[in-house]
């Protein structure tokens, strides 16, 4: 009985709230502006960050969790670029010696990249990224072909003209026809297709599907040897990563003859560094967003309180009438609380729509993906309604405490 009575009264509160809203539609919408802005900011920023986060994680994941990239340049360059440029290249011999000496990695390989056109019959793919790997590259980078095969260590050593196409490149050139054994032209040279890699994502902004893999020796032979090597080391597990790094650092310092106490003249990179950088960037953005959002929600809340106080004054007589026919304090309290929650929830909903729209527009213009996680939507609604609830309490209590006679007599 108590519960049904409560439900009946709440229904009346909601109906009364909507009647009041309809009567002052424009005013209600203007009132929620602060909340709209706050929720818009939250939803837009969260959607974009969330989308960005997923992309970055996916791309960085392509680098491999347990893989170290030893090269001339650090991925994150806080210092002067020229300092890194002036470093001596890591030569093939140095790379080879490091590979011979390391004991801890599960697999280790050398790689360099070049770029060239690839042609098959009348079809041409331009600026294809050619990755030259030693034969161990297959293990380090999970380069098992979807069909066909990887090159043998013999082919790798001899520098054979064999090529493994990225999935997208294969589609572009062969339109899904069987490419195995076909001859393609890479720049001025003829290669035999021996495999096709599985579908992959992009990695650090480069579409892996559009690239191709050839033996390192072949790449150096045909496209020139004056390149700095990247040595890639796969650690057997996450725990040994630091040990693998220490070993490689010590060996490479010796190989390159760095005196004791001098700085490394190479960099050991790993996926984790990029993620850390990205995390600190997003944390900063989040902090800004929380600042903007709380400020506008506060402003919005005060706006709501203000308009609710106006509403209570305007409807003093109505309150008197309701009380005179038996409305209790809590009935009036609920009515105005519901109204303020509905107003602010409405603002929240509008803000949510706007925020998503902004995120979608930004993502279509910049190719950044946008995805609103469900928790952000709930957060937006939750925040806006809590603001309504909180800032509605004072006006509602004021309404509930009115003396019926004075309220009825109010002009």
Partner 1 sequence: MQPIINLSGITKEYIMGTQIVRALRGVDIQINQNEYVAIMGPSGSGKSTLMNLIGCLDTPTAGTYLFDNVSVENMTDDELAEIRNQKIGFVFQTFNLLPRADALHNVELPLIYSGISAGDRRRRALEALESVGLGDRVDHKPNELSGGQRQRVAIARALVNNPSIILADEPTGNLDTTTGEEIMAVLEILFQAGNAIILVTHEEYIAEHANRIVRILDGKIGSDDRVERRRHANGVTAAQSSGHQ
Burial class of 211 by CB neighbour count within 10 A (0 to 12, 13 to 18, 19+): buried
Q: Are 32 and 346 in contact (CB under 8 A)?
A: yes
3-state SS class at 268: strand
| Residues 147, 195 contacting (CB under 8 angstroms) | yes
Of 11 and 54, the one with the shorter C-beta distance to partner 1 is: 11
Region for 85 from its dihedrals, namely left if φ exceeds 0, alpha if ψ lies in -120 to 50, beta otherwise: alpha
In 3D, which of 313, 389, 314, 408 has the Cα closest to residue 348? Answer: 389
Q: Given the complex with partner 1, which of 48 and 327 has the nearer CB atom? A: 327
111 phi, psi to nearest 5 deg: -150, 150
Using a 10 angstrom Cβ sphere, with 0-12 exposed, 13-18 middle and 19 or more buried, the burial of residue 261 is exposed
How far apart CA 181 and CA 178 sit, in angstroms, is 9
Q: Nearer Cβ to partner 1, position 1 or 374? A: 1
Helix or strand holding residue 114 (H, E): strand 107-120
Q: How far is the CB of 205 from partner 1 (least distance, A)?
A: 59
Which residue number, 18 or 286, has a Cβ lying nearer to partner 1? 18
* 1 vs 78 by CB, closer to partner 1: 1
State the nearest-atom distance from the C-beta of 327 to partner 1, in Å.
5
Q: How far is the CB of 328 from partner 1 (least distance, A)?
A: 5
Closer residue to partner 1 in complex, CB, 9/245? 9
Q: How far is the CB of 30 from partner 1 (least distance, A)?
A: 20
Of 269, 267, 228, nearest in space to 112 by CA: 228
* For partner 1, the closer CB: 31 or 335: 335
Nearer to partner 1 by Cβ, of 72 and 329: the residue is: 329
As a whole number of angstroms, the distance between CA 1 and CA 215 comes to 81
Tell me how far apart the alpha carbons of residues 234 and 69 are, in angstroms, rounded to a whole number.
9
As measured in angstroms, the least distance from the Cβ of 390 to partner 1 is 25
CA distance 89 to 107: 23
Label the pairing between strands 206-207 and 202-203. Answer: antiparallel
Cβ of residue 309: shortest distance to partner 1, in angstroms? 19
* Residue 410 buriedness (CB in 10 A; 0-12 / 13-18 / 19+): middle
CB of 388 to partner 1, least distance (A): 21
Taking the complex as a whole, the smallest distance from the CB of residue 17 to partner 1 amounts, in Å, to 12
Smaller CB distance to partner 1: residue 246 or 403? 403
Judged by beta carbon, residue 20 or residue 43, the one nearer partner 1 is 20
C-alpha distances out from residue 239 to 65, 130, 244, 247, Å: 11, 32, 10, 14
Beta carbons of 308 and 17 less than 8 angstroms apart: no
**Contact positions vs partner 1 (CB under 8 A):** 1, 4-6, 8-9, 11-12, 19-20, 23, 317-318, 320-331, 404-405, 408
Minimum distance of partner 1 from residue 385's CB (angstroms): 24
CB of residue 21 to partner 1, shortest distance in Å: 11
Cβ atoms of 163 and 244 within 8 Å: the answer is: no
| H or E element, residue 190 | strand 189-196
């Amino acid at each position: 009985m108590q519960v049904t009575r409560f439900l009946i009264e709440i229904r009346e509160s909601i109906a009364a709230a909507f009647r009041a809203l309809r009567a002052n539609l424009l005013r209600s919408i203007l009132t929620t502006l602060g909340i709209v802005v706050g929720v818009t900011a939250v939803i837009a920023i969260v959607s974009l960050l969330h989308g960005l986060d997923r992309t970055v994680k996916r791309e960085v994941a392509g680098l491999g969790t347990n893989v170290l990239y030893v090269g001339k340049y650090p991925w994150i360059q806080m210092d002067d670029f020229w300092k890194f440029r002036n470093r001596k290249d890591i030569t093939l011999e140095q790379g080879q010696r490091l590979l011979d000496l390391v004991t801890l990695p599960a697999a280790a390989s050398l790689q360099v990249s070049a770029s060239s056109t690839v042609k098959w019959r009348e079809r041409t793919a331009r600026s294809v990224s050619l990755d030259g790997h030693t034969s161990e590259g297959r293990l380090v980078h999970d380069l098992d072909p979807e069909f066909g095969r990887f090159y043998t260590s013999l082919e790798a050593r001899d520098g054979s003209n064999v090529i493994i196409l990225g999935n997208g490149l294969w589609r572009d050139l062969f339109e899904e026809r069987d490419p195995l054994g076909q001859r393609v032209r890479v720049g001025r040279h003829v290669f035999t297709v021996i495999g096709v890699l599985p579908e992959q994502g992009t990695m650090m902004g480069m579409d892996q599907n559009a690239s191709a893999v050839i033996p390192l020796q072949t790449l150096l032979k045909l496209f020139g040897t004056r390149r700095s090597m990247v040595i890639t080391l796969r650690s057997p597990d996450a725990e040994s990563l630091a040990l693998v790094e220490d070993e490689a650092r010590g060996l490479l310092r010796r190989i390159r003859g760095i005196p004791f106490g001098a700085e490394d003249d190479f960099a050991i990179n790993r996926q984790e560094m990029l993620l850390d950088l990205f995390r600190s960037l997003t944390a900063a953005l989040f902090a800004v967003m929380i600042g903007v959002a709380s400020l506008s929600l506060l402003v919005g809340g005060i706006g709501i309180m203000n308009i609710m106080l106006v509403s209570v004054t305007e409807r003093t007589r109505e309150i008197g009438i309701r009380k005179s026919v038996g409305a209790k304090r809590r009935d009036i309290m609920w009515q105005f609380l519901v109204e303020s929650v509905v107003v602010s929830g409405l603002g929240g909903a509008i803000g949510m729509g706007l925020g998503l729209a902004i995120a979608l527009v930004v993502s279509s213009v910049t190719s950044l993906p946008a995805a609103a996680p469900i928790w952000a939507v709930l957060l937006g609604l939750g925040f806006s309604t809590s603001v309504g609830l909180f800032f509605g309490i004072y006006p509602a209590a004021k309404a509930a405490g009115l003396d019926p006679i004075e309220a009825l007599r109010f002009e």
